[in-house]
Each structure stands twice: as structure tokens, then as C-alpha cells.
Structure 1
Amino acid sequence: MASAAKTRRLCRGTAVDRLSNLPGNVIDLILEPLPVRDIARMSIFSKRWRDVLVLHPHLVFDDLFFEPLLSKKDSEKDTQAQVSEISRIISNILLVHTGPISTFHLFIPQDLPLHRCVDTDFWIRNISNRVQKLKLLNKPFTMYKIPLYLFSCLKLTHLHLTNCILNPPLRFRGFCNLLSVELEDVVIRADMSFGTQLEKLELTVCTGIKHLGCQFTYKNNLTRLIITDCGEFDFEWFECIQKVEFLAVRGVLNSRNELINWNKLFANFPRINTLGIDGFFLESVEPGAAVLERPITTLEKYLVFVRFDEMVHVQHNFCLIKSFPNLRHLYIVQDCEVSSSDEADLLDFMAFSADMILEKLEIVEIRGVVGSRAELQLIKLLLACTPRLRRIELEKDITVDAKEELRISRELLQIPRASTSSQIIWN
């Protein structure tokens, strides 16, 4: 017995350290989804893992990181103590970190004003020469003014900012390697460009986008452009995005206050695959220019926010749809209910469009359905002109009660379909 026990002890002493023998890429995959504090704890598992935090490429200080650190506070003094303590923890991690940083994600809670702390500027300075993906989500009401160190991030490839102020230095000509930019509630205070390598640009509720004129030149490589609720935008900039494949514009007015010639506009998008527009866009068309001279054969997905009580919206919308012969996915969001005074004209137009055939359309989604006659005629038209339709998904408006829902369901069952395999999904 004693000999067997001794043998087991010797075996344990010479056992292979399986953690130490794991390949580096496997260790990165294990650590990537873990919070930073858990990675620090794991450094005691084996000798090879002692420096894992020092070289870990993903530094994520998100809401999961802050949750255990935030305690119930009873005074402003408690808040300041928490800010100091959390700032010290993040600063210490960055001070010992010596390797490249693939991802730096900083979430600033609404009730923890870290953006007022000078350490926040220090953190950006610390990572400026080695970070690739920077995500800064500032939740407090006060905007965070991005320090000038950000504009010297030569290795930066992805940038995501929320509730911040961008004030680039004079003669800033853009980033060298930046591929993706997402800005939400961001104020741009001076002329700037994100660089000619940029492929993805998303602007949501941003002000000062007039300063981005330097971005929209014929040298740009944008393939994805989303602009939502950003006030005025110079529509002439669309002439410079000939590589765009995904374009979505909503809540944006033409800063030049001019009508759009759709034939000229779509001639600039030879690669477009997905298009999303709203009523402002539909209303800004030159009279008589709603029908495209050439079909857009590359477009497969179309998202539109339309008002059924606006005849111009509906007419221009159908003119566009008829110009997309390879359309596969149609997504319609209704902004408001159709008024009874406009229904007659709308129904006449839909009868005029009854000869429309959408050979490739497979999926239709309509949101905000209230069960008006105009909506049912639209659904009837789509079901009649789509021989390959697989399903049409309808989502009722929150104002629809149980009685109206039953009436709509019965009427939907009576609508004939061009494709016997098509389904109507009523939610």
C-alpha cells in the first residue's frame, strides 16, 4: 500500500502540464470571452499562464466588468470613491500590459462618470500606438471629448464611439488602416476624413456630418453606408460611393434643398445589393423621374419606411420595386395608418400596378399592419405577382385588438396566391 501511494505521488509530480502545452491560438480562444478579472485569476493555474494578462490582446471593460465593482452608494463621496477605485484597476492593467491590443472596449456606466477622470485620456494615450479595434460607449449624459491621442492610432482598423465629441487636429488627413466606423450621438466639430481605406460607415443621430466632405471623394472604398437621423446631408456625396453594396438612408434631408434625379443617382451604385430608404427620400424625387430608365439588376434586398396615406410615397415606391428585377427580400415598415380619404386613390394605383411581376421575390415582411383596405390590397397584389414567394410575414401594429386581429386573419385566408407554396405568417 505504501509503495502504491508513493508511486502515485511520483506520477503526480512528473505529470504533464496540459495547460502549458496548449497552443497559443487555443489559449486565446479560451480567454477571449472571459472578463478581464477572470483572466487575471487564471494566471495562477500554470507557469506559462502567469503572464497571460500582460499579453492578452482583448481588453474588454464592458458592463459585465463593472457590475461586480459597483456597490450601493449613498452619497456623491461614494461615487467619487468608486470612480477612483475603478480607474486605479484599469490603469494598473494597462500599465502592466505590454503586448499588442486587438480589442479595447470601454463601457462607461451612466451613473459612473469616468469620462470626467483624467485617467480616461491616459488610457487612450496608452493604447494609441497598439490598438486595432476601439469601442468606447459613453452612457452618462455629458459627452466625452475624444483626446487628440486617438488621431495618432496608426494601427486602428475599427472605431465605435457613442456620446462623444470628435474635434480632429488641423490638417488631419485620416487614418491609415481604418476599415469600419460606427458613430452614435457623436458631434463632429471640424473637417475630417476617416481615411481612404474605410469600407463601413454608420452614422446614427450625429451632428456636424457636414464636416465629412473630405471622406466622400472618388478615392474612397465605402461598401456599406448607413445614415440615420443626422439632419442634413449633401446628396451629391452619393456620386462618390460607386463601390457601395449596402446603402440605408433614413431621417436625412438634402442639405442642398434640391430634388433627386433617380436615374443619375442609381447610376452611381453599380454594385448595390441592399437599399433602405424612407419617406424623405421618396419625396425628394424630381417630377417624372420616379421611373428608372435602366433596371437595377444587382439589388436583392429592399427596405422601405413608407406612409400609405401619402400617394407620392406609394407611387414612387412601386416604381422602384418594378425596377428591381432580381429582388428577393422586400421589407416594408408602415409609418402610420392609411386615412379613409386617401384609400380610393391608393386602390386605383394598385389596380394599375396589377400587371407587375416580381419573378425572384421570395420573402416579404410588412411591419405595423393595422388591417386597412389599402394594406390588404397591397398584400393581395404582392401575392398575385410573386410566383416564387415562399413566405410573407405580417406584424400587427400595437393598436390592433383581438377582434380586429381575427378579422384580418379571415381576410388573409381568402386572398389567392400565385405560388401554392407561399405562407402567410401573421404575428
Structure 2
Amino acid sequence: MDNILMHLTIRDAVKTSILSKQWRYKWANLPQLIFDDKLWQELERNWKSARIKFTSILYQVLLFHRGPITKFALTIPELRSCSEIDHLIYFLSKNDVKEFTFKIQKGHKLSSLLFMCLQLKHLSLSSCLIYPPPSFKGFNRLIMLELDDVTIEAEVLIKLISSCPLLEQLVLRITVEFDYLEIDAPMLKLFELKCVTTSVSFKKSPLLEMVSVAADENVLAVGDEFCNFVEFLESVPSLQKLHMSYHFTKLLVPDEIQTMLPFTLNNLKILELSAISLYSLEELSSVLCLIKSSPNLEKLKIEMFAEEVDHATYLLDFLKVQDYSNVLLSRLQEVTLIGIAGTVPEMTLIKLLLEKSSTLKRMVISSKFYKCDDKLVGTLKELNKFLRASPNAEVKFEERIQQ
């Protein structure tokens, strides 16, 4: 019965009380309460004022619910800020909530009562203003923290992160510009960053396994020392998955071209690069550098940036002098290349991957163009001529889907 109730919207769960004596108020023992878009859309269809009806349901739930609430989610982007939300958070603070997800219309100042929920393990906040009270000492049990388009001061965020000693997952998608952001999370395993910031410093994260960074400009630091991206990679030896988006090469040394890292990324298994332009010498060399320095890659995904420029001779000259003799991708099994136009740098990359990947199972190539033309036909013919180290490698070519 509990399993059935947890698959219903909260409104439908309350309605089950009319089924029988056995079902009456059974919903009131639910350990998780979810108020989401599905509920809101239902209210908009059936009531003139969805907000008033929502408030009525909310108070009904708070009045009749008994027992602990381990998981609570309020994710209704259309809902405006209202005092009832503070009453709700007060109620949750008395019920040892462990997972809290919050997203309504932007601009709601989060109640300080949330920072009394010291049993929290998962906290996800969106589009709100965060001002912890001066007495707040931290979430000692928090494992996952996700902040999406929130308003928070850099000093407050730094203190919040450092006051969560068990933090393993940190996701920051913040539009506020910071001059400096320090990450002090010794148990951190996953880090995702999408924000405008001058510098990001990892004080100590030896267990970091997954990193995703999307930024136009970014200067990384390890401890108190600013560093380039090469030095940052060396400081996270446990890294298994890396995703870089936008002009990620700005994170590398800007004044020199890297052909190989001074160390190998032995634990890196998944590499994903988005919005990459192989027409740029810096980005082309960076892509090759990361691939050549990751001998144990298992999955590779590259999404090309749609840029129309003439082939520069310096790109071709760079490719000609590249040494691929010591490149070995003996564990690479899946490759996805999106936005291919059939240029020389792209074809060189495809050729390298096919020749050096002895265990490759599948390569999916997605076209930059919406329909197959003579140029793509020529690209397909050239692909079929490339040598393949893996006899089982399947190369699948897909046309771009019109959106």
C-alpha cells in the first residue's frame, strides 16, 4: 500500500482515504511528500485559483500527517513566494527531514528555519535567496548539495561548503559573479560547476572522481596557489569522469601548445567535451592532448561547435608533425562525435581513434548538416577506407535531426 501511495500525486494519495477503512489516512504515514508540476497542472485545470487550492492541500497535509518525513520536494516554478512556505519549513524542521528539494518562482527568501534541519543528507535549492543565520554551524550529515540559480554571497557559500564535512556531491549552477570560490570538501567525489567566476580553488579533494565545468573564463587553484588546468588535473589523481564545456581550452596554459600532459590520467574512463572547435589550434591540440594522455579511456564524447571558417594551413602543419606512435587506447569501447562536417582535423581525429582503439565496439558520428549531400557522401566513403584496430568496431553515421 505504501508503494502504491508513493507513486501517486499527493492529492490523489489523500483521496485514497475514501476507499475503505484500511486505506483511511494511510497516506498520512507517507515518509515522502512531493508537491510538483504534476499536481499544479491538475489544480490549474480544475480550479480558478490553483494557488488557493494548493494552500488548502498543503495545510491539510500538515494537519493530518504523522510520523517522520524523510523526503520532501516542492518543485513548482509557477508558484509565487508566500508565507505558507515558511510554515511548511517549520513543520519539516520538527520532523527530521533528510532530503529537501525546493524550486518556485525566483526571488523567495529561504526561511532560516531550514538551517535547523540538521538531519539533512540531500539538499537541492533553486531560484531562491540564501542567508543562513549567524548561529548556523553547518550540516554535519549532508552528502549532496545542489544550488541552481540561487542568490548567495561568495563568503556564505564558501562557509556553507566547508561546514558540511561529509559532502560527496556538489553541484553549483550560479549566475551571480564571484571573484573567488574555495572548495573545502575532503570527502568530495562529484563536482559540477556552471557559473561566472574568476577563480575556483580546491583546498583538498583527494577522492574527487567526477568533474564537470562549463565556463567561458575560469582560473583554477589548488590550495593557496593559482594553477592552470594541467596542474589541477594532476591534483585529482582519482578522477574517473571529466566533462568540459564551452571554451575549456582557456583552462589550459594559454601561451603554449600541449601535445602530451607531463603525467597520464590513468583513472580517467569517461571524457566528454562540448562546444569544441577543431578550427582552433589551441582547442585541437588540447583535445588530442587529453586523449593521448588517457590510456584507459572507455567512453569518449565530443560535440563540435558549428563554426564556418577556411582550413588554416597552420592546423594542417600541426597535424602533420604530431607523433601518434605511443598512443594506445586499448580500453576505449564507445565514441560519439556530434556535429561533424568532414574537415581535415575531424577526419584526422576519427582516423586516430579507429587505428588506436583495439577494443572499440561502437562509433556514432552525427552530421553537422540536416541532409546528406555530396560532401557527406564523400566523407562516408573516406571513413570506410580507414583502418580499424578493432575487427568488431561498428561505425554508424547519422544525419542531423532538424529541430
Range class of TM-score, shorter chain: 0.7 to 0.9
Q: Which residue of 2 aligns with 1:126?
A: 91
Match of 1:327 among 286, 297, 301: 297
SS at match of 1:345: helix
Q: 1: distance between equivalents of 2:60 and 2:177? A: 36
1:244 aligns to 2:218 (yes or no): no
Q: Which residue of 1 aligns with 2:9?
A: 35
Q: 2: distance between equivalents of 1:253 and 1:184? A: 19
Q: 1: distance between equivalents of 2:166 and 2:64? A: 32
1:105 aligns to 2:70 (yes or no): no
My pick for the range that moved more, 32-41 or 332-341, is 332-341
Match of 1:361 among 321, 325, 332: 332
SS at match of 1:426: strand
1:186 aligns to 2:150 (yes or no): yes
Alpha-carbon spacing, 1:95–1:162, altered in 2? closer, same or farther (3 Å): same
Q: 2: distance between equivalents of 1:388 and 1:255? A: 36
Q: Which amino acid aligns with 2:392?
A: S
Q: Tell me by how many angstroms 1:408 deviates.
A: 3.1
Q: Which residue of 2 aligns with 1:197?
A: 166
The answer for unaligned runs of 5 or more in structure 2 is 399-403
What is the aligned length? 383
Matches within 5 A, 1:193-232: 193-194=160-161, 195-207=164-176, 213=182, 216-217=183-184, 220-228=186-194, 230-232=195-197
SS at match of 2:150: strand
1:314 aligns to 2:284 (yes or no): yes
SS at match of 1:143: strand
Q: 1: distance between equivalents of 2:100 and 2:347? A: 47
SS at match of 1:71: helix
Q: Which amino acid aligns with 1:35?
A: T
Q: Which amino acid aligns with 2:364?
A: E
Q: Which has the higher helix share?
A: 1
Q: 2: distance between equivalents of 1:212 and 1:277? A: 18
Match of 1:268 among 232, 235, 238: 235
Q: Tell me by how many angstroms 1:340 deviates.
A: 1.7
Q: Which amino acid aligns with 1:253?
A: E
Q: Which residue of 2 aligns with 1:304?
A: 273
Q: 2: distance between equivalents of 1:256 and 1:382? A: 30
Q: 2: distance between equivalents of 1:158 and 1:390? A: 37
Q: 1: distance between equivalents of 2:371 and 2:337? A: 18
Alpha-carbon spacing, 1:323–1:280, altered in 2? closer, same or farther (3 Å): same
Runs of 4 or more, structure 1, over 4 Å off, are 208-212, 255-259
Q: Which amino acid aligns with 1:363?
A: E
1:53 aligns to 2:53 (yes or no): no
Alpha-carbon spacing, 1:346–1:388, altered in 2? closer, same or farther (3 Å): farther
Alpha-carbon spacing, 1:209–1:292, altered in 2? closer, same or farther (3 Å): same
Q: 1: distance between equivalents of 2:263 and 2:173? A: 32
Match of 1:94 among 40, 55, 62: 62
For the 8 Å contact 1:180–1:198, the answer to whether it is kept is yes
Structure number with greater Rg is 1
SS at match of 1:188: coil
Q: Which amino acid aligns with 2:208?
A: V
Using the aligned pairs only, state the percent identity.
Answer: 28
Q: Tell me by how many angstroms 1:239 deviates.
A: 4.4
What is the TM-score normalised by the length of structure 1? 0.82
